[in-house]
Amino acid sequence: MTNQKRVGIILGTRPEAIKLAPVIQVFQGSPDLELQVILTGQHREMVEQVMQLFNLKADHNLEIMQPKQSLNDITCRSLQGLEALFIEQKLDLVIVQGDTTTAFAAALAAFYQKIPIGHVEAGLRTDDLFNPFPEEANRRLISQITQLHFAPTSLAVENLQASGVLGEIHLTGNTVIDALLNVAATHPACDIPGLNWDEYRTILVTVHRRENWGEPLQAIAQSFLQILDKFPDTALLLPLHRNPTVREPLQQLLGNHPRIFLTEPLDYGQLVGAIERSHLLLTDSGGLQEEAPSLGKPVLVLRDTTERPEAVTAGTAKLVGTETKSIVAAASELLSNPEAYTAMANAINPFGDGHAAERILEIVKNYLG
């Protein structure tokens, strides 16, 4: 099998692990490719949970994670570790996903070794360089040095064309839908102590983004309290991010409410189970804007911008910002107006059909052929 091409798939965070899991699985099934799965270690436990769920193993782990690591720390340690690995492994292609610091550092390290780059989930844009930060800059920088752009939607294709990027642009759908449908087919459990899913209409909440730290987080938390006060038949499930900058204010503001359930981060199976059982989502996450519509759940986005405007255009998600009044108004509309709720719940998800990873495999094989 000496004519096998060597492909490295690099990941460091939980969202990357989820979205690359279907790609890793189909690449492992191809006799034409020899795959190296490389972890930077930007996140540790959360990535391991995903790897176990999809029955995946890493070939290399740089284990860069440190307490209170900065973007500089992550970038420098990733670059240094990947340089040595790329020289040793003699890869024919490096695949990165999305817009994390791991993805940017891995693309840059590959570029320095003149290894072609494939970018999964290419072409997302807010056109505001500092929102979200540093993700908008990361994905733009990756696009400039990529040979294979795997765009999840036609809008992402247009964004890449408008950017004048080099390299081939391919419309593939989003691999997160592949992962979601795979896990949802098993109807995973999500048992939260004290929460009776049949008793309440439960709102699933995630909030963690840097631009929401501080005052916006306070306003978001106040909106949760007002929504629960207004609708006694609702409960709120909030898996807390591990970062104390987010975690501690939320615990302080929300920890004593009888219908607010603060938990540790859910593993991906539990998260999918929670989406299936929830009534609607309030989130500043990018991935949940893509995932929840596939399970028929409306998404209110706790941000002023989104790199996924397709969801807003399709009617599966709505930008509500971070002001208390706006969030309460939007949630109240969905909780009190069945027609408004049904319109969002039944809108068609624009992010794919569950076969993105298979398309990416065929494109890579043709490119390396």
Residues carrying an active site annotation: 99, 121, 135, 208, 210, 241
Please report the DSSP string for 318-356 in residue order.
EE--S-HHHHHHHHHHHHH-HHHHHHHHTSPPTT--S-H
Token pair 């631009």: residue:
211
What order of strands is seen across the sheet that includes strand 280-283? 260-263, 234-239, 201-206, 280-283, 299-301, 317-319
Contacts of 84 (CB under 8 A, 6+ apart): none
Half-sphere exposure of 113 (CA within 13 A, CB side): 23
CA distance linking residue 180 with residue 22, whole number of Å: 10
171 neighbors 155 (Cβ within 8 angstroms): no
CA distance linking residue 193 with residue 327, whole number of Å: 27
Token pair 């706790």: residue:
302
203 neighbors 279 (Cβ within 8 angstroms): yes
Q: Which of these, 176, 103, 177, 113, lies nearest to 141 by C-alpha position?
A: 103
| Distance of alpha carbon 103 from the chain centroid | 13
Q: Which of these, 176, 174, 165, lies nearest to 141 by C-alpha position?
A: 165
316 neighbors 323 (Cβ within 8 angstroms): no
Positive or negative CA dihedral for 228, 288, 213, 131?
Answer: negative
43 neighbors 54 (Cβ within 8 angstroms): no
Q: Which of these, 65, 10, 16, lies nearest to 38 by C-alpha position?
A: 10
- Tokens in use for 295? 């399970």
Residue 301: enclosing H or E segment and its boundaries?
strand 299-301
